[in-house]
Amino acid sequence: MENSVKIKNLSLAYAKRNTPVMVGVNLSFETGKTYAFLGENGVGKSTLLKAIAGLIPNEEGNILLNDKPLKEWSNNELSKQVAIVLTDSINHSMLSVFDFVAYGRYPFTNWLGKLRKKDIELIEDSIALCNASHLSNKSLNNLSDGERQKVMIARAIAQETPIIILDEPTTHLDIRNAKAIFKLLKLLSTKMNKTVLFSTHQLSSALEISDELVIHSPEEVRQISPRDYLLNKELQFLLTGE
């Protein structure tokens, strides 16, 4: 199966600092699979995800999307390939949920941004997938933190990209809603054939739904199957201290 993303000898540094956060990283992500990024705070999970999404430059090495270097993709082309959900606050607080999720369709609309029937259906379906249909007409500033998180995920789904990247997608969610989101991420890969990359501190859920784990330590970034992780006492101690 063709790899949707390949990372070769990648080195990254924190923005505004010249301190390397990771050096010589090699990873590969296949279409239709789910990958959990795990590790302590500050080891570079978010930085790596942002680099894969094209939001920050790499110091050395290459990120390849369908064998084409990321830097050779235009912003519009990339927005049709990769959707990203960050933990940043939503700036468009006066918009309705429907209008905010509709932003996910703009890479595919004409220069006037006019939504077609297909676009409207995709927006409604994306909101429904996140169990947020009852929120469609509410403004973003009237939502709880957990509801906003669902809406941001809905926008990424509406973007209809083959790759979805999520930085701690269950932040602010209670246990029931967090489980629903993890179930949704698995559905996106298995039923909709998307490549799903997400960071999380919820190890048990990551082991349950992920095809592979990307484990960050101060020394290296390692890609490993959940089964092999469960056989590796060193990595278990790294993540849990036990």
Can you name the residues that pair with 198 across neighbouring β-strands? Answer: 36, 166
User: Token pair for residue 116?
Assistant: 């077609």
User: Token pair for residue 242?
Assistant: 């036990």
pTM > 0.85: yes or no = yes
Q: Mind listing the pLDDT tens digit for each residue in 170-223? A: 987 889 889 989 999 999 999 999 999 999 999 999 999 999 999 998 788 999
Domains, the chain, with CATH or none: 1-74+194-242 (3.40.50.300)
Q: Mind listing the pLDDT tens digit for each residue in 72-127? A: 999 989 999 999 999 776 666 789 999 999 989 988 876 566 888 999 999 999 99
Burial of 241 (0-12, 13-18, 19+ CB in 10 A): exposed
Strand segments, DSSP code E, in 66-116 are 68-69, 82-85
